[in-house]
Structure 1
Amino acid sequence: MTKEQKALIKATVPVLQEHGVLLTKHFYQRMFTHNPELKNMFNLGNQQNGKQQTALAMAVLAYAEQIDNPGVLMPVINTIGHKHTSLDIRPEHYHIVGKHLLASISEVLGPDATPELLAAWKVAYEQLAKIMSGHESTLYSDQVNKTGGWSGWRPFIVKDKVRESAEITSFFLYPADGGTVADFIPGQYISIRMFLPQLNLSQPRQYSISSMPNGTYYRISVKKETGSSHPSGIISNTLHDEVKIGDKIDVSAPAGTFMLDSDRSRPLYFVSGGVGLTPLMSMLETALKDNPGQQKTWIHGCKSSDAHAFKRCLAEWNNKYNELDCHIFYDEAAPVIAAMRQYQGWVDLGLISGIPNQKADYYLCGPAAFIKKHYDFLTEQGVPKEAIRFEEFGPASLEIH
């Protein structure tokens, strides 16, 4: 890019700050009108609740702000790349997106979208697409080269369904071809894809793997969205209500950047709210098996004892492993669980002995407000930001600095 083109891109930053979501809403409407087949690749729930449009607006803004040095965005590009490979997005899709993004800039900005500005954004987008598709090509190669790995979609069979709580059920997924499955780093997710007759579309959804790697199956643990017919919960509810043992669903290879660190010398704190415990279950089970001497603290909050998934499993682990300390918060009063410390109310890290520990690693997972509350508490108590890892389910909308 020329200096003049970079200057034009940076000059659009105030416009993107004020009208970025308007632009991305127009973009998605335009793209789905001209390329309706792409509806099969996008989570329509995130389209309806606005999360996808907001996430894209934030990404475009960040790119414009860092146009002089886009390399600083590699952590974000890596996270998006994992999402894209889990949805089987390929280089040819970038051409479609670019066409509609440039057209949307022209249509939304009107006379302010000068030929020079559009030319600058065309070069900028092509640069970004090259960076992202190149990185995703590496991720696809890494998936294929793993033992039991694959690229794209692979049919799996639901061999078991286990009710973990009043809201959450686990699904045990085995490859239909009888082969092995690739290992993963605890904390990662898989995508599943199902055809929904009521929408006349295939829809993908991402679910954390809730068990440790085993080479044979993946377990996902899914919350039923009670009383909801909104697209954001339609796959989860279909899994609960309609999918039977023996049914086939398409699955993509494990992906994701929320991962258990391999450093075994530091204590671990796992902090979850509701169904956010699913990736942390994989992390905890792996850490208990691989490093029994490492101190581990489990902190979980949910609305009631009936809604508490894996509570028997956690109680058994708490009794078996001296290095594990479990703390459970219920919104409602509940019978006491033997061996686990129990509280009434929302999760309060200030009640946990040992926090803050500046030499520990913290893993947070739950709704955006839950993550931000505990992230802010930990940093205010002197915990280094790099010691705190978190995952917000769905397109990233949480801004933490």
Structure 2
Amino acid sequence: MLSEKSAELVRATLPAVGGAIGEITSLFYDKLFQAHPELERDLFNRGNQATGSQQQALAGAVAAFAVMLVEHPDRRPDAMLSRIAHKHASLGIVPEQYPIVHQHLFAAIAEVLGEAVTPEVAAAWDEVYWLLANALIAIEARLHQEAGATPGEVFAPYEVIGRRAETAEVATFLVRPVDGRPLPAGRPGQYVSVQVAMADGARQIRQYSLSGNPGNALQFSVKRVTGDPAGEVSGHLHDHTAVGDILQVSHPFGDVTLDGGDSPVLLASAGIGCTPMIGMLSHLAETGSGRRVITVHADRSEADHAFRAELEQLTAKLADAEAHIWYERPEGEWPAERTGLADLSRIAIPEGTVAYLCGPLPFLRAARTQLLAAGVAPADVHYEVFGPDLWLGSDS
């Protein structure tokens, strides 16, 4: 909780800081990478830096946290903190890096806002930063402890023991620790970080959802990212990674995981967002769950739909499950009411349903709106975003 004096100063300066937060975060990354080029090379996603999405995510998180402190001082944004902490833990971020971020973030704030940043204002925002940082440090320490991982040492060498094509753009990899150690425990819906050595010497890291549980390996699936900039890690994995190769893979992390209750569950995805959903569905089928299960998936076409056959097979294994699929451009005969974008308002959703969503932001917003209109409690709608979470702190 902010001190009373700091809360007043933060409330008074929040419009100025919020209005300039985009410029501040952009300048912050410039300063950070100039002083520590190894962080851009080996830790931060260079693609997200190029598109500006990482800067947007940082700006949104800082602003959302500050607003929560001054408007709801008796509450803490635990969902936001948990999401960031899981991502940090999977990247191997350590407490010693927080003072480095503080140094360059506050230098950027002072440069952008100039004389408005008095010593008193700086002290108030300093309090905001360390409330955020210390909360994350504590959560990340707990996550490392639960995973049995030493902070900063979450990666281990894994051998690729299997690879298969799901679609022309999606490949699934099965990996196993090279030293014979037991597989780390993961929960349905979690992801692993994968670090690969690039041609220029950088070691870039990306997160990929666990897309099943083969028992003797970790399984994750990768969609080739096209466009400008193209996905350098997804392209590398598709073009240069074969059975027998070694990858650096982290322990599983991620806060959007299937709960262990018996309430109805809805798994809704679009595109490659199917990967954590198919992992959850696999778990439900493997454990012989008797829960009411509704799966919803939207894709461009049948050929683009990864795990299409698995979705049908797993749904058939469950005692009380149904699948609803929409295609934007069906390749053959397909019901007109299931052509185009997914529409959850067409589905009867049981009372007490817990929903899990994964896909592009427009899909997430539409699906959440439709679920709330159907009576699903906001606290029971969980979502996963691939890449920087530009929806942090959003209520819509």
Say if 2:136 is the partner of 1:132: yes
Moved more, 137-146 or 299-308: 137-146
Match of 1:344 in 2: 339
Q: Which residue of 1 aligns with 2:224?
A: 224
- In the alignment, which residue of structure 1 is the partner of 2:205? 204
1:160–1:171: 8 Å Cα contact kept in structure 2? yes
Pair 1:89–1:386, CA change in 2 (3 A): same
Contact 2:345 2:371 survives alignment (8 Å): no
Paired amino acid for 1:31? L
Q: Structure 1 unaligned runs (5+)?
A: none
Give the Cα–Cα distance (whole angstroms) in 1 for the partners of residues 88 and 330 of structure 2. Answer: 42
Amino acid at match of 1:261: D
2:303 is matched with 306
1:116-265 maps to which residues of 2 (within 5 A)?
116-144=120-148, 151-198=153-200, 200-212=201-213, 214=215, 216-226=216-226, 228=227, 230=229, 233-264=231-262
1:248 aligned partner, one-letter code: I
Q: Return 247-256 or 65-74, whichever deviates more.
A: 65-74
Cα displacement string for residues 35-91 of structure 1 (whole angstroms, at most 9, x for unaligned residues): 111111111111111111111111211232233538512221111111100000001
Letter in 1 for 2:108: S
CA 175–342 in structure 1, closer or farther in 2 if over 3 Å, else same: farther
C-alpha distance in 1 between matches for 2:152 and 2:19 = 42
| 2:345–2:374 Cα contact (<8 Å) kept | no
CA drift of 1:127 comes to 3.3
Task: Give the Cα–Cα distance (whole angstroms) in 1 for the partners of residues 351 and 206 of structure 2.
Answer: 36
Note if 1:359 corresponds to 2:352.
yes
Q: In the alignment, what sits opposite 2:105?
A: 101
Q: CA RMSD in A?
A: 2.4
State the SS of the aligned residue for 2:203: strand
Distance in 2 of aligned mates of 1:295 and 1:304: 27
Whether 1:44 aligns to 2:46 is yes
Q: What is the CA–CA distance in structure 2 between the aligned matches of 1:219 and 1:89, rounded to whole Å?
A: 24
Overall identity of the aligned pairs, in %: 34
Note the C-alpha offset of 1:288.
1.6
Corresponding residue SS for 1:350: helix
Once the two structures are TM-superposed, the CA of residue 281 in structure 1 deviates from its matched residue by 0.6
Secondary structure at the counterpart of residue 12 of structure 1: helix
Which residue of structure 2 aligns with residue 21 of structure 1? Answer: 22
Once the 2 structures are TM-superposed, how far is the Cα of residue 349 of structure 1 from its aligned partner? Answer: 1.7
For 2:337 and 2:177, how far apart are their aligned partners in 1?
Answer: 39
- Give the structure-2-normalised TM-score: 0.92
Cα distance in 2 for partners of 1:342, 1:167 equals 27
Q: Which amino acid aligns with 2:21?
A: G
| Range that drifts further, 288-297 or 245-254 | 288-297
Matched, 1:280 2:277: yes
How far did residue 170 of structure 1 move? 0.3
Displacement of 1:322 in angstroms is 4.2
Whether contact under 8 Å (2:172, 2:221) holds in the other structure is yes
Question: By how many angstroms is 1:126 displaced?
Answer: 2.9
1:212 and 1:283 in contact (8 A); partners too: no
What's the counterpart of residue 369 of structure 1? 362
State how many pairs are aligned.
Answer: 390
Structure 2 unaligned segments of length 5 or more: list them.
none
Give 1:326 shift: 1.7
TM value normalised by structure 1: 0.91
CA contact (8 A) 2:300 2:330 kept: no
* Residues 77 and 320 of structure 1, relative CA distance in 2, 3 Å threshold: closer
Matches of 1:129 and 1:318, distance apart in 2: 43
Q: 1:213 to 1:162 in 2, by over 3 A?
A: closer
Alignment CA distance shift 1:333-1:67 (3 Å): closer
Structure 1 residues 283-319: Cα deviation after superposition (integer angstroms, max 9, x where no partner): 0111122243222122111111111111222232344
Contact 1:43 1:204 in 2 (8 A): yes
